[in-house]
Amino acid sequence: MIRRYFELVKFAHTIFAMPFAMIGFVYALRTQGFATERCWPVLLLQVVLCMVFARNAAMGFNRWADRRIDAANPRTAGREIPSGKISPRAALLFVVANALLFIATAATINPLTGLLSPAALFVVLFYSYCKRFTALAHLVLGLGLGIAPVGAYLAVTGTFAWPPCILTLLVATWCGGFDIIYALQDAAFDRRHGLHSIPARFSARGALAISSLLHLCSIAALLWFGSYCPQNGLLWAGQGLFALILFAEHLLVTPTRQRNIGIAFGTLNGLASAALAVFVITALLVE
């Protein structure tokens, strides 16, 4: 049953946002001179738990809200709820439990994270209904993931600052770009059922062009954030590797060749976020 819930929320996809939360966390520690009033390992655990609970709630709710759509789509009919592996009621209880755990954990960090936790939860849950009325659902998903570095920064400092907000822009455009690529698989289905997405509204060529533009914005945001970091070879290597992986993603998926969507969506983007985090965090720690 635990494995089924992990499959329900695609737990492995936590790799998309978690590295950016860690960048935001370490960047915040650096601005504080690595001196905090609280034990930073405990604070790190709280941030990780918030990430896990929020994502579980978001993905579980998405699967619950889309259960009838998923059942009608041959690509998704085998998912846990349509296939009967997990009942809709059990999935909804899972969502409620994780949402409450997220708010409770955020409240133990500091007053600001506790106060903002319902708003963050609203954004990540609201995404599930966006495809019913707007093709910009991809960017709403990106915003939901992009909350992570700001949340991690707030956990350490209790205040807002520009650099983690730039990371939000980076994540929102990066995620929006690769979600457009992923949605190419369902473009025809979405058109038939009145669902909204960039691939459903435009041609594959147009959708990939928009995805490319979003990823160019991601790279620009990364360079912008990098201007607030120590300027060294580790930072530049991380930035270059991230840009190179995004470029490879667009070489793998073209308007006439879409069989590599799975590799581009999962493998390359997971590698991009993890590699960037390793290089940037190391750059922040060594200087």
Q: What is the CATH number of the domain that holds 221?
A: 1.10.357.140
The predicted pLDDT at position 2 comes to 72
Domain assignment of residue 189, given as a range: 2-286
pTM score, whole prediction: 0.94
How far is residue 72's CA from residue 69's CA, in Å, rounded to a whole number?
Answer: 5
C-alpha triplet 98, 262, 203: angle, nearest 5°: 105
Domain count of the fold of the chain:
1
| Alpha carbon distances (Å) from 204 to 14, 71, 207 | 27, 25, 5
Across the chain, mean pLDDT equals 93
What is the band of 263 on the pLDDT scale with cuts at 50, 70, 90?
A: confident
| Cβ-contact 208, 255 below 8 angstroms | yes
What is the band of 239 on the pLDDT scale with cuts at 50, 70, 90?
A: very high
pLDDT at 185 > cutoff 90: yes
What is the band of 42 on the pLDDT scale with cuts at 50, 70, 90?
A: very high
Type of residue numbered 139 = L
Higher pLDDT, 165 or 5: 165
